Structure 1
Amino acid sequence: MATRRSPLWHYFEIDKEEAKYAICLICKLKVSRGGEGKKAGTSCMKNHLKAKHSDKFSEIYGGSSSDVGTAISTSSNASTCAAASQPSMQKQLTLAETVERKQYWGINESKSKEFHYLIGEMIALDNEPLSIVDRVGFNRLMQKVLPRYKLPSRTYITEKIIPDIYERITKKIMENILNAAVVSITSDIWTCDQNNESFLSFTAHWISPDFKLEHGVLAMKPFSGSHTGENIANELNIIAARWIFPLNKIHVIVHDSGANMIKGVHVAEYDSARCFIHSLQRVITESLKTQPDLIEMLNASRRIVTHFNHSGLAQEKLKAIQTEL
């Protein structure tokens, strides 16, 4: 092979598969040599170096394009080089992108963490199960939308992301309550139909310094033992002491008309108010019991609904009638 005297060869090498091309050692782009053997030239290589790597071009030609005017001045040469290089550029960029997309972000990289926490917030806000990160459909969606993002395991979400979100939200709510002049509380006890387990809720409501109504669920915890006024008072005091300082910032606790809740708030020494909606519901419920005809109509309606809910054939006939109507 003849000695390559041109300094351009410091930045190019002949393509081993297609000798009519040279490969730029800087950007890996294929550049046409105009042919093979004696037909090959360096015009396109110079043109490429000047257009894409001007600093290297200046090192060779002293920063003056006039030194190589005859080699790259004609528009035909420039067009030929551009035409030969363009398909290779597209191929090279596509290959680079493909390789890049196969490289997942690290689980602790900032980009990954951003989406970890967004998924954690979605689980909390939309009441999604932690197993959503194992679902095939969700994994396919995330692979399409973010090819370089790898979903964390359920264990990572449980032990890292959810606790971090909890601590962050806890700190924010405490700061907001601290800046509030007064705080009102709504609280209730109810029993789950599925497992007969009782729960106590404790929600704070306040006006922010910029006069916006805000609220936060400070507790929703299992309530064990008897639902006595003393036990309720003890739980209310434990929750309030953790979240609200000073305690005299509590303006009122709103609750239902249950005797145990009334006593619990009284024993805990907070001002109280009965929930108007709950009182209205009780008035309506008790009023209905005094109307025999209305009760019979409601019972008949319930029997009809029960019949259709337990008979597939009856539902089909009902749908057919509804379609005709």
Structure 2
Amino acid sequence: MDPGNHSLVTEFILAGLTEQPQLQLLFFFLFLGIYVVTVVGNLGMITLIGLSSHLHTPMYYFLINLSFIDFCHSTVITPKMLVSFVTEKNIISYTECMTQLYFFIIFIIAEGYMLAVMAFDRYVAICNPLLYNVIMSYHICFRLTVGVYILGFIGSTIHTGFMLRVFFCKNKMVNHYFCDLFPLLELSCSSTYINKLLVLVLSAFNIVIPSLTILASYIFILSSILQIHSIEGRSKAFSTCSSHISAVAVFSGSATFTYLQPSSVSSMDQGKVSSVFYTCIVPMLNPLIYSLHNKDVKLALKKFWRLKNVYE
């Protein structure tokens, strides 16, 4: 379709999470609280691990990166969403919209692969404990982490690059609380077949590959745990994996529901609800899950508070 026959869209209006006025203020304080907990939890986790020498291991190196990804992921989305609760029209410029989309995709892809890397780390720790320090050396951990971010940048560059080629009609109302792929494609005047195909193919790749890695890791982990004869040994092995399994279940479930359905089948309103989980709830829950279920983190917290009380 010829762009010359249509006006150029320079800004969008984000519809927000709800259109019911009586819920706006309630949602504002609810998600403000969630964001504050997310920021404090993830930055606190990064600081705690950085200051605790006994946590300077591959597992917690990856956890620092997961916390960083969650903090960035939430910060890309939540502040703009909060604006929609207190303004009549939540306007976002075309440039800001594409920027938000770009960084959102980077961090959602990176989170999936980081969870896969953490599953591999647990597999090595439980199934090959004697070779753990050799296999999970600093250089290997660094390369795995860099690989996670590179995959995020590649996926985001492809999606955003093709989105920049889409021509938008006069309708500027995005039926979402942030600039996501399917809601933006609904406003297109030009063909979006390639874009939607890319969403399905790349989303499948970026969900299936980490999921298969996690599944394979836990099959081997479960097999090794079942060979442990002592109840205490099994319990300790399970405890090292429980936090990670909880984080994977919530993130993968909500992301799969949103991106592996054709847009004609998946309701945009349902998409809003499911996306709340991986944009707001998961980044808040991860530091809570890893701190409440992890004895090493609890010990580090106790030491931190003791030192704080001594200096006070």
Same fold (TM over 0.5): no
Higher helix share: 2
TM-score (norm 1): 0.20
Rg larger for: 1
TM-score (norm 2): 0.21
- Structure with the larger RCO, 1 or 2 (CA within 8 Å, 6+ apart): 2
